[in-house]
Structure 1
Amino acid sequence: MKKVFYVASICLFTVSIMMGICYAENQFDFYPNKAQYRPSEKVGLILKVIDPSVEEVNLQLSISHLNHELFAQSKKIKLKLGQEIIAFYWYPPLSDFAGYGADLKIKDAAGKVIKELSTAFDVASDWTKFPRYGFVSDFSPGTGKADIRTKMQNLAKYHINGLQFYDWMYRHDKLISPTEIFNDPLGRMLSFQIVKDKIEIAKDFNIASMAYAAIYASSKKFYQEHPDWGLYDLRGQPITFADGWLYIMNISPGSPWNNHLIKQFKDAIREVGFDGIHLDQYGYPEVGFSHLTDKKERIFLDTAFRDFINQTSDMIKTDNDKAKVIFNAVNNWPIEEVASSKEDIIYIEVWPPHSMYLDLVELIDDGRRLGGGKPVVLAAYIDPYKEIAVRIANAIIFSQGGFHIELGEGKGMLADPYFPKYKEMSPELSRVMRNYYDFAVRYENLLSDSNLKPILAQLEMEDVITSVIAGFDLIFITTKEINNYEVLNLVNLYNMGFDWKEHKQTPPPQFKNKEIKYYGGKGVKNVYWSTPDGSPGLKKLSFIWSQDDKGKYIKFVLPSLEYWDLIVIDKE
């Protein structure tokens, strides 16, 4: 690979907020000031130091893209007692859809390293290229803008760049509330102003806001006013959801419901400020009958969904040419029809029988294939109490190039398909998720890029079972290539069972200093290793060439494997 030179500029300033003397241990945080950056936009990296125990420190910052260091700077500053905010600003290269890593060493006056910190950021003109999709579901009256901003800033630390505004609406059949304060269909008291405040503040962090809407659901009252708009079963009975709480309407092209709901979408984009529409469905029915005329026309929902998605995309783009559409393929249905539609993201809500790790892999692979390379977001709900299960599931999803809707409302994690039942992560899980999302962003071009191609290669690990199938008691291996890189992901499934949602009592065993044989690498220049379970930068590994009856291979020592490792082969 040719050596690339980058020119960049950086500036630094500090703000000191005096506080009372505190004898607590040093506390540090390092994060970008936005969830994502647009091309030519200035990147801000924030270092927060609370109650420093030393006065003078040397900050050593390094910014890299994959295995290329793009910028390095050392800066001596004096810290004051209290809370110190240090901001670094940097203009990245004029390239689109690229992930970066930022590593910071803090040294005392004697040169001793006090703390090493890392974060990541990416540059993209379109957030749906690498969609770190999250959620908001709290719109209670009286929520202050400062509280909203704090939660949005926290989500930006995880690089969440799109939010599903779950159950923000007045009614399923009338999205925008006629009053400022209203009760939603389940009786929650909500504020329309809070909805708008969250959209406005999300934009400050380059976070897109998607308006949730059920594609065919109406209240009983609305159905009774428009019975011919409904969808009926073979016996001529209206099809309902949740024992008659909601009625399923006819979404076929040209139907009155179709036109009514899409007008609601246009109003949500134009009047409320949403950046797109998130379409939900309930997984059934697959077939219904229209009563718009005397002739009872059969409606196949799979093709009707596809047509409705396409019409929605076309119509909302007349108000905002960058508006997006997402559709929930409940339990992967009807993925064959909707993946190639004008939806911008493949979104799959995962339910049994898709209960195994292998199912997560196949859902991501098939979704990408059917969608022509579109990114895949899985709604796979795991109670944050099950910390090991959350960690392994994310290792599987991220390593396969997928994304996981799970984070929202500051430090919340989805535990249930009804989003308001989310739970708060523990401090330990919050730390782990920061590391995993940093890792997914730093290496997005090696993990999630649509140009990645699978390759046939064999990897053997000393005294350990490896497999290209995500099975039981083994190391799950995937091998792909892009440009001059071969990319190997290793996920430790020892003692993890088969079920991704199942609670795990103990973590997988950690493997250290294991010899690796990798067959199939050609023209290898360098071998790098990294992991979100430790220091995330790429570490160069020594390797040698050898050969046996299986063919030529490179041999190197893997420093450690806890949950998930990334090996990058840099080729000539």
Structure 2
Amino acid sequence: MTEPSTAAGARPVELLPTRATYAPTEPVRIEVRGAASDGHLTVWSLGDLVATMPVGDAGEVDLGPLPVGTYGVELAAAGDAAPLARTAVEVTADLRSRLRYGFVADYAPGRDVAPVTDLVRRLHLTGVQLYDWAYRHADLVGGGEEYTDALDRPVSLDTVRRLVAGIHAAGSRSFGYAAVYGVGRAEWPTWAHAALLTPTGEPYGLADFLSLVDPAEPSWLEHLGADLAASVAAVGLDGFHLDQYGYPKRAVRADGTVVDVADSFVTLVQAVRDRLPDSHLVFNNVNDFPTWRTGASPQDAVYIEVWEPHLTLGSLGQVVTRARAVGDGKPVVIAAYQHVYDVAPAVESDLATAFTMATLFSHGATHLLAGDGDRILVDPYYVRNHVVEPSTAGLLARWYDFLVEHDALLVDPAVVDVTGAYAGPYNDDVDVTFARADVGSDAVAGTVWRRVTRAGDALVVHLVNLVGQQDTRWDAPRHPVGDPGPGTLRVRRTGPGLPRVRVADPTATPRLVEVPVVADGDHAVAHLPAPHVWQVVVIDDGGSAAPSRDLDTTDITDTHGADS
């Protein structure tokens, strides 16, 4: 979805898929909100037109079943080529293969769940974490139908069930939050024997209301497994978000056993999988601990909540790269809370979020940030969230659409980084230069950060524009994006033909469009529009094909407002 367009005197126009994701046999239906009965929908697959459908008065367009893949969908009025609105669609036979993650943190009696389900559809969220839904950390469903949680927030299980049902109806999954080793004061006498102790003999804890046990202690494992199973029966959860706090790494248990907590986490994930073989599981590797041990464990994603020293865009990219290397093809999700919204105006904070998403998406990960209808995360206690402004809502919709539409180029597990093998003067296979900015393979303020990946037979060049920035912190106010000038792409040809070169940008040109390509000896050259925050360049080898036609560069148009 784009920021809805508005004609004079008309309601905003918005496209909204009926589901976050579709099975191959399901008809893909697009809700059209606003007046656009004389328009038509076009469906695109990586920039190629695959279908056109008229928009009638019914308010919903049935595209029928589509082949497995991801698509962009545009709405244009009759006689007008510029889209009024956009959205994206995913068709997959395996819901577990991707995790675009959101959250809920409000279970008050009678709350309206429609804003949550709308957001699931708008951002194509394939999983929603129900944060702090339970009665107590060590007694998930013992509070009856209505209660206050451990921090005195009201919870109605009727609301939880309605949220779960709404998330299901929107084509997504519900993950109940569950701490894997936290025990409250009321339950502590039962579990003190399993305590993880500090060197001075006190139990490790969180704030003043939780103490920590060995997550692999047998009696605790039996209790936790039974509690999780009871939760599935009570409210219909699809699975669980298994949380920890990042410490201790090693500790002595109350019975004197020395515990390697990384090993205990692996044991726990396996035990929960054995107890709940059909549940979807996500374990939190706090600050990358211990991703190297849990990445291959039997769960459904590699999820990492980042803190210091992972403060820069470059460090985010490195975290994702490590996670993909150990995850056996699982989707990678990074929880990078944008505290910047608490201290800076939306215009500066939105740019920080755009740079965070550009880094994560271009490295093959997704971002836990949005949820609860109109909120984003600015704090690890999800209740302390931030109500988004319209600029932030529009930014998220554009970028999540872009993520889904270009899934095969971004987060497919088969995508590999080939920067060191292709770019630079020694390799001389592919590179980009700009009129007014340096280009490099590291995230350096004032430059264009260039990475090259291979997605199937295509080369994909990611250009993150750090011109105008004084540092590369991801959670800090950002300066307006600088202009590096137009770019020049130079790529080695395979044979006498010319490659096909296309560009897309979530800010300016959300659908891949072709740019002219000319021969220059053994190379081909294409001129690129200046990037805003992030530009994606896709190069398809022309091999022995005939030289490509000249293209009208007016195809490259700015159909969205700038993210700054």
User: TM-score interval w.r.t. the shorter chain?
Assistant: 0.7 to 0.9
Deviation at 1:482, TM superposition (A): 2.3
2:516 maps to what in 1?
542
Q: CA RMSD in A?
A: 2.1
Instruction: Give matches, 1:324-339, under 5 Å.
Output: 324-339=280-295
2:106 maps to what in 1?
138
- Deviation digits for residues 252-295 of structure 1 (CA, Å, limit 9, x no counterpart): 25x21111011111112233211111111111111222335xxx
Matched, 1:271 2:227: no
CA distance 1:291–1:112, shift in 2 (3 Å): closer
Aligned residue among 380, 383, 396 for 1:433: 396
Deviation at 1:64, TM superposition (A): 1.9
**How far apart, in 1, do the equivalents of 2:494 and 2:538 lie?**
11
1:562 maps to what in 2?
532
Matched, 1:237 2:211: no
**How far apart, in 2, do the equivalents of 1:466 and 1:151 lie?**
41
Give structure 1 regions of 4+ aligned residues with deviation exceeding 6 angstroms. 520-523
Deviation at 1:112, TM superposition (A): 4.6
**How far apart, in 2, do the equivalents of 1:271 and 1:63 lie?**
41
Deviation at 1:181, TM superposition (A): 1.4
Letter in 1 for 2:53: Q
Contact 1:231 1:289 in 2 (8 A): yes
Letter in 2 for 1:358: G
CA distance 1:471–1:215, shift in 2 (3 Å): same
- Deviation digits for residues 421-442 of structure 1 (CA, Å, limit 9, x no counterpart): 1111111121111110000000
CA distance 1:142–1:73, shift in 2 (3 Å): closer
CA distance 1:251–1:515, shift in 2 (3 Å): closer
Contact 1:278 1:326 in 2 (8 A): yes
Aligned residue among 455, 476, 501 for 1:482: 455
**How far apart, in 1, do the equivalents of 2:352 and 2:29 lie?**
33
Instruction: Give matches, 1:365-384, under 5 Å.
Output: 365-383=321-339, 384=341
Contact 2:101 2:129 in 1 (8 A): yes
**How far apart, in 2, do the equivalents of 1:115 and 1:66 lie?**
17
Contact 1:132 1:405 in 2 (8 A): yes
**How far apart, in 2, do the equivalents of 1:558 and 1:23 lie?**
35
Instruction: Give matches, 1:280-295, under 5 Å.
Output: 280-292=243-255
Matched, 1:196 2:161: yes
Deviation at 1:507, TM superposition (A): 1.9
Can you give the 5+ residue segments of structure 1 that lack an aligned partner in the other structure? 1-21, 78-83
Matched, 1:42 2:27: yes
1:118 maps to what in 2?
86
- Deviation digits for residues 348-401 of structure 1 (CA, Å, limit 9, x no counterpart): 101011101111100111100011222210000104441110111111111111
- Deviation digits for residues 319-356 of structure 1 (CA, Å, limit 9, x no counterpart): xx2x2111111110111111111121111101011101
Can you give the 5+ residue segments of structure 2 that lack an aligned partner in the other structure? 1-6, 424-430, 543-564
**How far apart, in 1, do the equivalents of 2:288 and 2:126 lie?**
24
Matched, 1:127 2:100: no
CA distance 1:479–1:170, shift in 2 (3 Å): same
Letter in 2 for 1:66: L
Deviation at 1:558, TM superposition (A): 0.8
Contact 2:157 2:235 in 1 (8 A): no
**How far apart, in 1, do the equivalents of 2:52 and 2:457 lie?**
25
Deviation at 1:38, TM superposition (A): 1.5
Contact 1:345 1:375 in 2 (8 A): yes
What's the secondary structure of 1:355's corresponding residue?
A: coil
**How far apart, in 1, do the equivalents of 2:261 and 2:498 lie?**
51
CA distance 1:33–1:367, shift in 2 (3 Å): same
**How far apart, in 2, do the equivalents of 1:358 and 1:520 lie?**
31
- Deviation digits for residues 26-75 of structure 1 (CA, Å, limit 9, x no counterpart): 5211121111111211111121115x7xxxx6423221221432212346
**How far apart, in 2, do the equivalents of 1:483 and 1:124 lie?**
18
**% identical aligned pairs:** 26
2:552 maps to what in 1?
none
Contact 1:512 1:558 in 2 (8 A): no
Letter in 2 for 1:526: R
Instruction: Give matches, 1:464-483, under 5 Å.
Output: 464-483=437-456
1:447 maps to what in 2?
410
1:249 maps to what in 2?
213
1:29 maps to what in 2?
14
